[in-house]
């Protein structure tokens, strides 16, 4: 499995699109190709050179900065669109926990994680011992998305039950580069060693996608530590869903 990151709107939205390909067959998908002027040249170079055979577009949710490039991409690559029910030009919305394959060796499991949007889907990729999850705006490195269409209960389920149950060595590929902002907030909540480690990591890495794991997130992501007494004290709440709600309120105001 080969993962190629495409930064988009750097310095503004700080988005990521991803091209994921099967190393043997070269079959590939492009995830959240929201800004065609930045994505199409990469796709053209890789398809023209035979590095990849593009088979589908995947969207994590319907927001314009994730699915808004579909129309233009489809003009050049008329392919199926796999994504949530509200994504532009979607042709297939996979059921929760359903699977599909890319090439000979990549197995993908669709994980429904409604909250940021009700059509949010994360995609868990496995290829032998390699594991990666593409989390859109549900899970960021050290943070999570705003609850635009959902509740604290839904985000708790998404992060701590669904994504949190993935193997600890699963690498995390979010939809945005928000790590520095997330760690700035986390330090206000806790100054323990895990968050200090995240701070050092964020300072040393301009791009953090694919460099941390689900196991790391359980250690330093405050939204995945709802039972931690330090986090509870900072929020003034003890019940996990109240802690989640308060953390999001605090982060929104930060």
Tell me what the pLDDT averaged over the chain comes to. Answer: 97
Question: What CATH fold (topology level) applies to the domain 2-253?
Answer: Metallo-beta-lactamase; Chain A (3.60.15)
Q: pLDDT digits over 42-63, tens only?
A: 999 999 999 999 999 999 999 9
Residues noted as catalytic: 61, 63, 65-66, 116, 137, 176
- Which token pair is 141? 């490195």
Residue 212: C-alpha distances to residues 98, 147, 224 (Å): 25, 23, 14
pLDDT digits (tens, 9 = 90+) for 209-222: 999 999 999 999 99
What was the pLDDT predicted at 210? Answer: 98
Beta-bridged to residue 99, according to DSSP, are 109
User: What pLDDT score was predicted for residue 131?
Assistant: 98
Q: Domain extents for the chain?
A: 2-253
Per DSSP, the residues of the chain read -EEEEEEESTTTT-EEEEEEE-TTT-EEEEE----HHHHHHHHHHHHHTTS-EEEEEE-S---HHHHTTHHHHHHHS---EE--TTSTT--B-PPTT-EEEETTTEEEEEEE--SSSTT-EEEEEEETTEEEEEEETTEETTEE---SS--HHHHHIIIIIIGGGS-TT-EEEESB--HHHHHHHHHHH---HHHHHHHHHHHH-S--TTSSBHHHHHHH-GGG-TT-HHHHHHHT--SHHHHHHHHHHHHHH-
* 70-114 per-position pLDDT tens digit: 999 999 999 999 999 999 999 999 999 999 999 999 999 999 999
Q: Tell me whether residue 128 is exposed, middle or buried, using C-beta atoms within 10 angstroms of its C-beta: 0 to 12, 13 to 18, 19 or more.
A: exposed
Residue showing tokens 């310095």: 11
pLDDT of residue 187: 96
β-strands 53-58, 27-31 pairing: parallel
Report d(CA 28, CA 45) in Å as an integer: 14
Can you tell me the mean pLDDT for 230-251? Answer: 97
Residue 156: CB atoms within 10 Å: 22
Tens-place pLDDT, residues 8-47: 999 999 999 999 999 999 999 999 999 999 999 999 999 9
C-alpha torsion sign, points 50, 124, 130, 142: positive
């Amino acid at each position: 499995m080969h993962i190629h990151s495409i930064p988009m709107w750097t310095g503004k939205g700080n988005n990521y699109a991803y091209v994921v390909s099967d190393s043997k067959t070269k079959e590939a998908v492009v995830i959240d190709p929201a800004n065609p002027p930045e994505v199409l040249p990469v796709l053209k170079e890789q398809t023209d050179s035979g590095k990849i055979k593009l088979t589908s577009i995947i969207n994590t949710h319907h927001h314009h900065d994730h699915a808004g490039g579909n129309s233009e991409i489809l003009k050049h690559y008329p392919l199926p669109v796999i994504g949530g029910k509200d994504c532009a030009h979607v042709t297939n919305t996979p059921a929760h926990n359903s699977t599909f394959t890319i090439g000979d060796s990549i197995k993908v499991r669709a994980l429904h994680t409604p909250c940021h949007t009700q059509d949010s889907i994360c995609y868990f990729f496995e290829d032998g011992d390699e594991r990666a999850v593409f989390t859109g705006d549900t899970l960021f490195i050290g943070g999570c998305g705003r609850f635009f269409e959902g509740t604290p209960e839904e985000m708790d389920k998404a992060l701590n039950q669904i994504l949190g149950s993935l193997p600890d060595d699963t690498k995390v590929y979010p939809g945005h580069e928000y790590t520095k902002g997330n760690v700035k907030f986390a330090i206000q909540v806790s100054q323990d060693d895990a968050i200090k480690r995240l701070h050092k990591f964020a300072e040393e890495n301009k791009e953090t996608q694919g460099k941390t794991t689900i196991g790391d997130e359980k250690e330093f992501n405050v939204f995945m530590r709802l039972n931690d007494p330090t986090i509870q004290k900072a929020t003034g709440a003890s019940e996990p869903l109240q802690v989640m709600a308060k953390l999001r309120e605090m982060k929104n105001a930060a």
